[in-house]
Structure 1
Amino acid sequence: MPVRKLWHGTLRKLFNVLPRKRRFAVYRNFVDCNPSPSDRLVLKIADTKEELEACFKLLHDAYVSSGFMTPDPSGMRVTIYHALPTTTTLCAKYDGQVVGTLSLIRESVLGFPLQRIFDLTAVRAKKGNIAEVSALAVHRKFRRTGGSILFPLMKFMYDYCHTFFDTRHIVIAVNPRHIEMYESLLFFQRLTQNVVENYDFVNGAPAVGATLDLRAADAIFEKHYASKPPKRNLHAFFFQLKLDNIQLPQRRFYTTNDPVLTPELLNHFFNVRTNVFAELSDRKKCLLHTIYDLPAYQAVLPAVEESGQDETGRRRHRRFSVRCPAKFVITSPDGVENKISLEIIQLSRYGFQAHALVPVPIGVWGEITIQLGPAETSQIKVSASRESEGGGYGFRLGEPDLIWRKFVNALYSGSTHADLEDATRFMTDR
C-alpha cells in the first residue's frame, strides 16, 4: 500500500474518533465558498433538450462510477420523476458546458422517491410544502476544487425553493459516507438514525434520509458561520449574497412550478432514448395520464387500458399550485368592512384553497382581490365553503371575471411555463 494512502487512512481513523461536535466544527473550517465566482459560471433551470441531456449524462456517469446504477445504453440516468411537471432540474454551466446538476421534486400523485423507505410523518406535521433534492452530480474535474460548483448550485437550490418553489422543507436520501457533510455544513437532521441497507432507487446501495427546515435555516447558519471570513461564511453566502451567476426564472404570474417538458421532449427522453415509460407499472401509467391529460400528450404517453383509467384521480389532480396574495373583504349589513389577508396556494376553475392568519367566516360572501402576478389582478365574489387544519380554507367562486377565467383556462390548456406565457399575452396587451 502506498505510504500516502496509508497515512491518509490513519488520519481519517483518528479524525473519526473525535467527538461529533468537534468533528463537525472541523468540517466547517474547511468550507470554501467563493463570494465572487467567475462569470464563466452560469446557474439556470435546464430547459432545452441539450441542457437536459447533458444533465442526465452527467448524472449517469456519476452514479455509475459510484456504483449507484448499472450503465444504461442511453448513457443517461432518467427516472419517472424527471417526467413530472412538478420536478425542476437545475444546472451549473461553465464555459457553456453543464458541470453540475440537481433535481427538485415537489410532491405529486407519485409522491417522492425516498418515501418508499423513509417515514415523512414528522416533517409533514410541521406544515409547509416539501421537496426532495435528488439527482445531484458534479463533473469530476470540479470535484476537487472545493465547493466551486457545489456551493453555488446549493445556493441556487435554496434561492429557488425559498422564492419560487414555495417549499419549506427539503428532504434527501444520501449514502452514509456523505451524510456528515450535510449534517455539519448544511445542518440537515436525520429522518431516522438507522441506515437503510438496500435502497433500490440507487442500485441497492445503503442510504440515510435527512431533512432541512428552510424557515429555520437562516438562524442556524448565522449561529455557526457569522463570525467566519467571507470564504468560510456559508450564512452570508446563502442568505445575504446576491450571485449574478444565478438566472432565476422571469415569471409574470405567481405560479410555483416551471415545467419545461413539451410532448416532443417527453417522447425523446422517455420513449426514444430510454424505456422509462414502457417499463412503468399499470398503476403509474394511469397516474401519468392524470397528470398529462391533454390531447397533445396522448400520443407519447404509454398506453393504458380504458378500464384502468382513474377518473377520481384525474379530478383530484387538476389543481394548480400557486402563491398568490389576496385581500378578502366582507361587508356587514351596517356597512362595516372586515378585511382578511389570504395567500392562495391552489386553484381550479371554480375554486381555490388559501391560508389565513385569522378566522374566516364560513358561507359568507364577500369580494376578493387576487394578485395573479406583479401586474395582474382579479376581483371576484367568493365565500369560504370549508375550513381545514392550520388556518386553511376552501373557497367557492361566484361568477369569475375575465382575467381569472383566461388565466385558469391557460393553466388547464398548457403543461409548460412557456405555454402559460403564450396563452396569457392578452393580459399585457389588453
Structure 2
Amino acid sequence: MTGEMFEKMKVFLDGFDYRVARSRAELERSFELVYQEYIRQGYIDGHPSGMRFFLHNILPETTTFVAMLDDTVVATATIVPDSPIGLPMDDLYKDEIDELRTKGRTVCEISMLAHSHDLFGEEVSVMLNAKKMFLIFYLFKHLFNYVKEVMKTDYICIAVNPKHATMYNYLYFEDLGELKYYDKVNGAPAMGKFLDVNSVEKKSQEGTSSSLYKMFFTEKSHPSKFIKKFKFQVEDILYFFNLKTDIFKGIF
C-alpha cells in the first residue's frame, strides 16, 4: 500500500470512534451486529432476540470494542480473558491452547467480530476493499493495544473461517492446530490462530508492509479509548440472559 493511499484511508477513518462499549445499548447493538453477520454467513439459525452472545460476556474482564460512526455501532469485536471456565474456542482447540498455557504464558481470545454491511454494500472480502480493510485493521489495532498495555497478555487466540485466513496471516497470526469443524456455528470450518503479542512488533518492523507497521506501532491508542467500560450488573444479566433469551430461565 502506498503512502498516499494510507493517508487517504486515515482521512476516511477520522469519522469513526474506536473504543470500549460503554452502555447496555451499545453492547446490545454489538450483539445484534454479530447476530446479523452469523445469520448472513449461515453460522446460526434465527432467534427471536436477534442477538448473539455467550456466558463469557458476563466476566468482568471481558471487553467489547466498538467502532462508532455518529451514534451507530458499525463494527465490533470482543476480547475474552482466560479464566476458570476457559475460552470459547477451548471447545475445539483446548489441547493446542493448553500448550501455550503450560509455558506459563497468558492467553485471551478475540471473538464476535462483525461489521455493518450497510457501509460497503457489495460482497467483497476485507483484503480486496481498502476501506473495509482499514476499518477492521484499526479495530484490531485498538484490540491489540488493549491486550498488550491493559491486560498485559502474551497470546491472542482466534478461531476463523479458512476463507478469512489470509487477513490474519497478514497480521502475523500463526496457525494453531489443524482445520476443524465447529458445531456451534452449524458445522462451519474453523482454523485456530494465535498471535505472540510480545514479538509481533519486531516481525512487523522487519516485514514488507511499512503501512502496517505505521498503523499498529507508531502511535498507541489513547487511554481514553479504554475507560468507562460497560460491566454487567445483575439487572443487565437478567435483561440479556433471562428476558431477551432463555439461557437463565428457571434460575432467576
TM-score by length of 1: 0.52
Give yes or no for the alignment of 1:187 onto 2:187.
no
CA contact (8 A) 2:35 2:52 kept: yes
Aligned to 1:76: 51
Q: Which amino acid aligns with 1:61?
A: Q
Give yes or no for the alignment of 1:207 onto 2:163.
no
CA contact (8 A) 2:161 2:190 kept: yes
Q: In the TM superposition, what whole-angstrom CA distance separates every residue of 1:336-388 from its partner, at most 9, and x where no partner exists?
A: xxxxxxxxxxxxxxxxxxxxxxxxxxxxxxxxxxxxxxxxxxxxxxxxxxxxx
- Bigger mean CA offset, 112-121 vs 94-103: 112-121
Q: Matches of residues 234-313 of structure 1 in structure 2 within 5 Å?
A: 234-242=212-220, 247-250=224-227, 260-278=231-249, 302=251
Q: Matches of residues 120-199 of structure 1 in structure 2 within 5 Å?
A: 120-142=97-119, 144=129, 145-183=131-169, 185-192=170-177, 194-196=178-180, 198-199=181-182
State the alpha-carbon separation in 2 of the partners of residues 85 and 259 from structure 1.
Answer: 9
State the alpha-carbon separation in 2 of the partners of residues 276 and 224 from structure 1.
Answer: 46
Choose which of 88, 94, 99 in structure 1 pairs with 2:63: 88
CA contact (8 A) 2:21 2:230 kept: no
CA contact (8 A) 2:13 2:135 kept: no
Deviation at 1:249, TM superposition (A): 2.7
State the alpha-carbon separation in 1 of the partners of residues 227 and 25 from structure 2.
Answer: 21
Deviation at 1:89, TM superposition (A): 0.7
Seen in structure 2, the aligned counterparts of structure 1 residues 273 and 174 have a Cα distance that, compared at 3 Å, is same
Larger Rg: 1
State the alpha-carbon separation in 2 of the partners of residues 223 and 141 from structure 1.
Answer: 36
State the alpha-carbon separation in 1 of the partners of residues 30 and 230 from structure 2.
Answer: 16
Aligned to 2:203: 220
Aligned to 2:123: none
Seen in structure 2, the aligned counterparts of structure 1 residues 141 and 259 have a Cα distance that, compared at 3 Å, is closer
Aligned to 1:56: 31
Higher strand share: 1
State the alpha-carbon separation in 1 of the partners of residues 48 and 230 from structure 2.
Answer: 27
Unpaired segments ≥5 residues, structure 2: 121-128
Q: Matches of residues 310-325 of structure 1 in structure 2 within 5 Å?
A: none
Deviation at 1:278, TM superposition (A): 3.4
Give the count of matched residue pairs.
Answer: 237
State the alpha-carbon separation in 1 of the partners of residues 186 and 224 from structure 2.
Answer: 34
State the alpha-carbon separation in 1 of the partners of residues 44 and 242 from structure 2.
Answer: 20
Higher helix share: 2
Seen in structure 2, the aligned counterparts of structure 1 residues 166 and 276 have a Cα distance that, compared at 3 Å, is farther
User: RCO higher in 1 or 2 (8 Å CA, sep ≥ 6)?
Assistant: 2
State the alpha-carbon separation in 2 of the partners of residues 125 and 234 from structure 1.
Answer: 31
Seen in structure 2, the aligned counterparts of structure 1 residues 48 and 167 have a Cα distance that, compared at 3 Å, is same
TM-score by length of 2: 0.86
- Identity of counterpart residues, as a percentage? 30
Q: Which amino acid aligns with 2:185?
A: V
Deviation at 1:162, TM superposition (A): 0.8
State the alpha-carbon separation in 2 of the partners of residues 273 and 124 from structure 1.
Answer: 35
Deviation at 1:68, TM superposition (A): 1.0
